[in-house]
Structure 1
């Protein structure tokens, strides 16, 4: 084979590799987040009972009303948000539109109070949700490239911790916001805590400002 032929072959291989790399890069960049969740969690023993969850899209042209289950899931520890129970109470939305506002109202059963708050989801958080990562995890080493879950930590003192996470990503605290107490009807009856939770609350009370 001539030297000229070898040179042509070499440049052809380089060209093919270049085109392949560009194509792969284009495919990655063209992928879009089209499904995401809003989840809730309460500190262990301090049950939160979700009443209303409303989500407005980032363009404010539409929204969603959903339920993340009545009783939210618990963190691993009464004094922290640690734990991987975050997806068990997720409200899944199939849309390339990301949230602009989230309104939540819930009952704190430990101190028999009702809180509500409208939470603004910033463009910075939406950009973090859209960012693509070559991230694999789990028993099947599946590709889970997005931080696609907004987790609301609902404390019994009304403080909301807003986290961002994903299947392969741990909780990343974005900010905290204080909900306001909501006046319920005089004859409203709060659901009871479990026997175990009530025993813990009776012994330790309801702390303020630790979550």
Structure 2
């Protein structure tokens, strides 16, 4: 219950401060929105404080995503893309993505600015005809999703992919420690409570640094 109350309070505060410009024209993309996915290795619980985007028009958008990530099937190593997805509406393709999160198993707060190369934006608007396993039909699809994978030690991996297309790795990045702590000092050093299952796993097995 304590965890639930804390989450609700923080979510309300995040929603209240979400902001961004109101462009006069919508992005000219072959789809209504692109997606951001959040992922982490199994048991390596994270809480994402914010995902901010600077799009290719040079417009900033704050708090386009946040909260819990989805988890891979194993602790060590990565899957390729996917994760807890959210559409990013009325935002052009990303030029930079700013990420701030809490690694709850350590615990530690991290932040990073991730440059998105031009080839990624080109991939995101390139149509490909593909057989989609879900619908069992051929269709034209796009790599309209960017996944941010977060691991202890401030490791971030980024992929670009689509619902019916494979994911391509964009890069592996090293975040820096947020010197002000969780919520840039607004929570007075208090982290989101870790789930008991994940806490028990780390106490028994430790954190496999270097495996990501």
* TM-score, shorter chain, exceeding 0.5: yes
Tell whether the 8 Å contact from 2:64 to 2:88 is kept in structure 1 after alignment: no
Highest CA radius of gyration, 1 or 2?
1
Match of 1:77 among 71, 74, 77: 74
The CA deviation at 1:117 is 0.5
Report the Cα distance in structure 1 between the residues aligned to 2:96 and 2:79, rounded to whole angstroms.
25
Tell whether the 8 Å contact from 1:112 to 1:190 is kept in structure 2 after alignment: yes
Counterpart position of 2:38: 40
Counterpart position of 2:175: 179
Report the Cα distance in structure 2 between the residues aligned to 1:59 and 1:187, rounded to whole angstroms.
36
Report the Cα distance in structure 2 between the residues aligned to 1:200 and 1:62, rounded to whole angstroms.
39
Query: What is the TM-score when the length of structure 2 is the normalising length?
Result: 0.76
Tell whether the 8 Å contact from 1:136 to 1:145 is kept in structure 2 after alignment: no
Tell whether the 8 Å contact from 1:157 to 1:207 is kept in structure 2 after alignment: no
Q: Flag structure 2 segments of 5+ consecutive residues without an equivalent.
A: 1-28
Which structure has greater helix proportion?
1
Tell whether the 8 Å contact from 1:137 to 1:168 is kept in structure 2 after alignment: yes
1:115-130 alignment, distance < 5 Å: 115-130=110-125
Counterpart position of 1:198: 199
Report the Cα distance in structure 1 between the residues aligned to 2:65 and 2:91, rounded to whole angstroms.
20
The CA deviation at 1:156 is 1.1
Q: Flag structure 1 segments of 5+ consecutive residues without an equivalent.
A: 1-30
Match of 2:154 among 149, 158, 165: 158
Match of 1:111 among 96, 102, 106: 106
Tell whether the 8 Å contact from 2:127 to 2:140 is kept in structure 1 after alignment: no
Query: What is the TM-score when the length of structure 1 is the normalising length?
Result: 0.76
Counterpart position of 1:20: none
